[in-house]
Amino acid sequence: MKVAALFAAFAVSANAFAPTSSFTNSVSLSAAPRSASALQMNAAERTYIMIKPDGVQRGIVGNIISRFETKGYKLVAMKTKQASQELLDTHYCDLVEKPFFPKLRDYMMSGPVCCMVWEGKEAVVTGRKMLGATNPLASEPGTIRGDFCIEVGRNICHGSDSVENANKEIALWFEESELVDWESHSKDWIYE
């Protein structure tokens, strides 16, 4: 008898904290409605993330995608592409004159890359933190480079370093029609 009474008391107290839906008077699975200003405060920023040929060849594309999805970012576009010399010269225009660039370009042309656009609050800065330092040995454990690579010349991924460069890189690697504008059902569980 005491067990049944304890169970009943537990059920009543648990229901007291559960939100209800006016439609069914049952527990609601959606978060409270948000104001327009709250939605604007979390205005989406986009970043360009590219998995380089070593990441594609090693079969860790899914692991990297999972990190961004788990964090709460929204995938806006993704494709595999065989980069051309012209495309890489444009993408790495600030490095073209460096003595190491021909080797970098050859490496980037050695296999397909996985091009992605991710969207969310502070996506550029946070995306770079998630990737880790350019030198994988200086990357913290838990970052993508800290967990998956060792050599600078095989650092498996690229991430935009500013919003301005993200916009340029997205326009370079994607047609506007390839960017999908959609609303995630999880946004209310990710953003306040």
Active centre residues (catalytic): 158
Q: At what angle do helices 163-173 and 123-131 cross, to 10 degrees?
A: 80
CB 92 within 8 A of CB 104: yes
Q: Which two tokens stand for residue 95?
A: 């490095």
DSSP states along 44-77: -EEEEEEE-HHHHHTT-HHHHHHHHHHHT-EEEE
What's the rounded Cα separation, in Å, for the pair 55 and 47?
Answer: 19
Q: Which two tokens stand for residue 50?
A: 């590219």
CB 159 within 8 A of CB 127: yes
Residue 25's alpha-carbon distances to 17, 19, 123, in angstroms, are 13, 9, 38
